[in-house]
Amino acid sequence: MCIFCKIIKGEIPSNRVLESDKFLAFHDINPVAPVHILIIPKEHIGSFHETPKELMGEMTPFIQEVAEKLGLDGSGYRLITNIGDDGGQEISHLHFHLVGGGRLSFPPLHEDYKKSI
Ligand code: AMP
């Protein structure tokens, strides 16, 4: 069973922000911003690329509710989903990183492109 499935089952502790019958939001253990939340479906889906559109349709308002609960809807925030090896995905269970709480830098560059900036 993957680590996020264990978090859903409560076998691994997490700092939960919001939960519904289909989705869970909890604090990332290694935050990269003042607010860094992971939002996952309770159904095990490998990545965004395998996600049915019906699930995204349900996940979208859940993500918006998380941002509102954290007071980020006015100031703004960023959603990131890493996909596969080149995308930097470490855990193969669909998750959106919701980061915010301050101005974020952009863009996340490929190594070869960092030199030219
Ligand atoms: P990714 O590289 O997109 O797969 O992101 C995986 C994220 O999961 C990283 O930001 C990790 O810090 C986070 N993470 C790993 N284990 C845990 C955990 N037990 N609780 C909360 N976040 C975790």
Question: Residue 48's domain is classified under what CATH number?
Answer: 3.30.428.10
26 located within any domain: yes
Check residue 108 and give its pLDDT: 83
Domain count, the chain: 1
Check residue 116 and give its pLDDT: 61
Ligand 1 and 5: CB distance under 6 A: no
First to last CA, the chain: 42
pLDDT at 27 over 60: yes
Ligand 1 and 2: CB distance under 6 A: no
CB 45 within 8 A of CB 39: no
Check residue 117 and give its pLDDT: 54
53 located within any domain: yes
Average pLDDT over residues 77-96: 98
Check residue 67 and give its pLDDT: 98
43 located within any domain: yes
Domain region containing 28: 3-101
81 located within any domain: yes
Query: Which atom of ligand 1 is nearest to 92's Cα?
Result: 4
Predicted model pTM: 0.96
Query: Which atom of ligand 1 is nearest to 89's Cα?
Result: 4
